[in-house]
Amino acid sequence: MRISACIATATLALAVTASSSFAQWASKPTTPADYNFVFQAAYGGWGEVMAGQLAPQRSTNPAVRDVASMMVTDHTQANQELASLAMARGITPPNAPDPGRMGAITILQPMTGLPFDIAYLQEQTADHVVGIALFQSEAQSSLDPELRAYAQKYLPVIQRHYQTLSALMTSMAAAR
């Protein structure tokens, strides 16, 4: 009986928190699409940072470590700017990757050397394809001028990351 009471209390607390968060968000001039963008961009940005932080210990390739360092630097800056924009709109953005990206990071953690490099570059390339689509959509259609400007600012960065990752994958494949 006591466990079910705890579960009911926890469920009620979550429902109140969720409705309070939604009410806070709903009172701001942010559209559901912009709200979704904030969450998806934050999840992706945190995934890039956490995956990139593995490379110094796991990769034996200086080029992969350099790319990972660039990812950590650029996405940390983008995450900080996005958090400020979100908070100004009453949105508390995620401060960690979503479960899917955490799963990819968990898979990368035990790898080292060439297997790490290949898996890391493949995961990052795929994630940047998703990021490009997300940022392109926000840059073109957001009704929020600050979020639209943010997406326009970082879209070229994400596109450059994708090009760098693709070129590195191609050069590594040619060297094998």
**Whole-structure pTM value:** 0.81
* CA-to-CA separations, 145 to 39, 95, 140, 141, 172, in angstroms, rounded: 17, 24, 11, 10, 41
- Residues sharing a CB contact under 8 Å with residue 93, sequence separation 6 or more, in sequence order: 38, 39, 42, 82, 83, 86, 87
- Superfamily of chain region 31-175: Ferritin, core subunit, four-helix bundle (1.20.1260.10)
| Residue ranges of domains in the chain | 1-29, 31-175
Residues 42-95: tens digit of each pLDDT: 999 999 999 999 999 999 999 999 999 999 999 999 999 999 999 999 999 999
Is 117 in contact with 61 (CB distance < 8 Å)? yes
- CA–CA separation, 104 vs 52, rounded Å? 12
Residues 97-152: tens digit of each pLDDT: 999 999 999 999 999 999 999 999 999 999 999 999 999 999 999 999 999 999 99
Q: What is the number of other CB atoms lying within 10 angstroms of the CB of residue 136?
A: 15
Q: Shortest CA distance to 130 belongs to which of 41, 52, 54?
A: 41
